[in-house]
């Protein structure tokens, strides 16, 4: 009997010691202040803590990240990385590892996660179309070829999620906008809007998920689809802006997903011009063109909508400017470093993180004082994505 008692006690003590050891080694980690920083040239991503300004891990083997974008699971545990080479990678932010990776196409340009978090959609250049995968296993659920004009396939751009378990995207070559309803994954429902404008190159969704706006590269203006009234079709807005102006070289295409919605105003980069356009969202008319120092690429609003931050194409990509939303004018110019690229605000907007590709750094600013808080090393960083995106429409 004593032998049995001693054996049981020894096993209990061993188990307890193991649990204590694990508790000491594994610090509990919350997901709300995590994020990913894309290191484009090394095909890797940094898991970072936005509150402590620390790098937690580096995940490699992610392929071509030259135009990478990221979405997050609704519980914020997993990040889905869309690579330019057609790779789709699922990263576990709690265990610091690559959970799963597939090659789903030859050339990809981004993706989105469904309203309920169960589906991941990817937009593809080659072959042109959209593929939808189960978020948990990355198994293929639906393959939607972007077919137009008797069998031609179009590049797909501007893919975003929308309420009602829908995705919306644009066909660059066809000049069309499609909606994809995935309420029944076995029977996807597609609604097509043709003749929407020449060469839609990117798009954004308004924060409440009502308006889908595609920028047009092949002609002036924008294409607007009201998802509350799709029967009305696609409306053209600002069709005459810059129509008769001299066409200037475009050094880097603006990113519409970085456009700023601030109350009833939309701040949009003007293609090839040194201007940020201010559009009245109630009438979809141009209120003002704000002069800036270069060709704007990203125009992003602080969460409190008091200021918009603007970054630029070369040769002005060492600077960024702030637009005062109340006065509709540039208020500040900052010079963070070489090749300013992507920005990301903390969820309530007290800080902004900025990627400096050619300085191999991230810089963090206090958005109220504009004081630099810290710099962190990163190899050729371009995209910065925080887990708070998990709870935003159209991200």
Tally of domains within the chain: 1
pLDDT reported for residue 22 = 41
For residues 177 and 168, is the Cβ–Cβ distance under 8 A?
yes
Average pLDDT rounded to a whole number, residues 307-312 = 96
Domain assignment of residue 36, yes or no? no
pLDDT reported for residue 245 = 59
Give Dmax over CA atoms of the chain in angstroms. 98
Average pLDDT rounded to a whole number, residues 159-167 = 97
CB under 8 Å to 76, separation ≥6 — which residues? 31, 32, 34, 93, 387, 390
Domain assignment of residue 124, yes or no? yes
Domain assignment of residue 235, yes or no? yes
Asked if the model's pLDDT at residue 150 lies above 80, the reply is: yes
Domain assignment of residue 259, yes or no? no
Q: Which residues form the domain of 207?
A: 104-243
Handedness of CA 227, 69, 255, 383 (dihedral sign): positive
pLDDT digits (tens, 9 = 90+) for 329-386: 999 999 999 999 899 999 999 999 999 999 999 999 999 999 999 999 999 999 999 9
pLDDT reported for residue 334 = 98
> What radius of gyration do the chain's Cα atoms show?
23
Q: How many Å apart are CA 20 and CA 10, to the nearest integer? A: 15
Q: How many Å apart are CA 223 and CA 203, to the nearest integer? A: 9
Residue 247: DSSP 8-state:
P
Asked if the model's pLDDT at residue 221 lies above 90, the reply is: no
Average pLDDT rounded to a whole number, residues 231-254 = 73
Asked if the model's pLDDT at residue 19 lies above 60, the reply is: no
pLDDT reported for residue 244 = 59
| Percent of the chain's residues with pLDDT above 90 | 78
pLDDT digits (tens, 9 = 90+) for 188-197: 999 999 999 9
9: buried, middle or exposed (CB in 10 Å: 19+, 13-18, 0-12)? Answer: exposed
Q: Which of 168, 91, 66, 78 is closest to 123 using CA atoms? A: 168
Domain assignment of residue 355, yes or no? no
Asked if the model's pLDDT at residue 46 lies above 50, the reply is: yes
Q: Residue 260 has which token pair?
A: 């700023």
Q: How many Å apart are CA 91 and CA 35, to the nearest integer? A: 11
pLDDT reported for residue 239 = 87
pLDDT digits (tens, 9 = 90+) for 172-192: 999 999 999 999 999 999 999
Highest-pLDDT range among 211-215, 241-245, 260-264: 211-215
- Computed over every residue of the chain, the mean pLDDT equals 90
Asked if the model's pLDDT at residue 24 lies above 80, the reply is: no
Domain assignment of residue 151, yes or no? yes
- Length of the chain counted residue by residue: 395
pLDDT digits (tens, 9 = 90+) for 67-88: 899 999 999 999 999 999 999 9
Domain assignment of residue 207, yes or no? yes
Domain assignment of residue 43, yes or no? no
CB under 8 Å to 95, separation ≥6 — which residues? none
Provide the CATH number for the domain around residue 186: 2.130.10.10
Asked if the model's pLDDT at residue 52 lies above 50, the reply is: yes
């Amino acid at each position: 009997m004593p032998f049995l008692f001693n054996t049981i006690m020894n096993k209990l003590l061993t188990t307890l010691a193991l649990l204590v050891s694990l508790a000491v080694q594994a610090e509990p980690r919350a997901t709300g202040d995590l994020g990913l920083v894309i290191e484009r040239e090394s095909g890797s991503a940094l898991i970072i803590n936005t509150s402590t300004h620390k790098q937690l891990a580096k995940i490699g083997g992610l392929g071509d990240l030259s135009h990478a974008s990221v979405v997050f699971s609704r519980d914020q545990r997993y990040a889905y990385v869309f690579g330019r080479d057609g790779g789709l990678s699922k990263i576990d932010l709690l265990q610091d590892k690559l959970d799963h990776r597939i090659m789903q196409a030859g050339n990809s340009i981004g993706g989105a996660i469904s309203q309920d978090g169960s589906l991941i959609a990817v937009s593809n250049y080659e072959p042109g179309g959209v593929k939808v995968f189960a978020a948990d296993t990355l198994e293929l659920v639906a393959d939607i070829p972007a077919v137009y004009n008797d069998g031609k396939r179009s590049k797909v751009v501007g893919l975003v999620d929308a309420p009602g378990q829908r995705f919306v995207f644009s066909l660059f070559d066809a000049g069309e906008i499609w909606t994809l309803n995935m309420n029944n994954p076995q029977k996807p429902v597609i609604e097509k809007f043709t003749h929407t404008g020449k060469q839609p190159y990117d798009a954004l969704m308004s924060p409440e998920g009502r308006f889908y706006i595609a920028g047009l590269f092949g002609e002036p203006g924008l294409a607007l689809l009201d998802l509350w009234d799709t029967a009305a079709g696609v409306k053209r807005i600002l069709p005459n802006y810059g129509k008769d102006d001299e066409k200037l070289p475009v050094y880097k295409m603006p990113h519409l997903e970085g456009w700023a919605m601030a109350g009833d105003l939309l701040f949009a980069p003007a293609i090839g011009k040194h201007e940020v356009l201010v559009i009245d969202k109630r009438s979809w008319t141009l209120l003002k063109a704000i002069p800036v120092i270069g060709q704007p690429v990203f125009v992003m609003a602080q969460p409190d909508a008091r200021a918009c931050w603007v970054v630029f194409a070369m040769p002005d990509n060492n600077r960024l400017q702030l637009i005062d939303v109340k006065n509709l004018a540039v208020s500040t110019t900052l010079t963070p470093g070489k090749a300013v690229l992507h920005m990301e605000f903390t969820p309530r907007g007290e800080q902004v993180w900025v990627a400096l590709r050619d300085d191999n750094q991230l810089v963090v600013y206090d958005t109220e004082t504009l004081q630099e808080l810290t710099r962190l090393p990163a190899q050729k960083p371009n995209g910065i994505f925080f887990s708070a995106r998990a709870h935003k429409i159209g991200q």
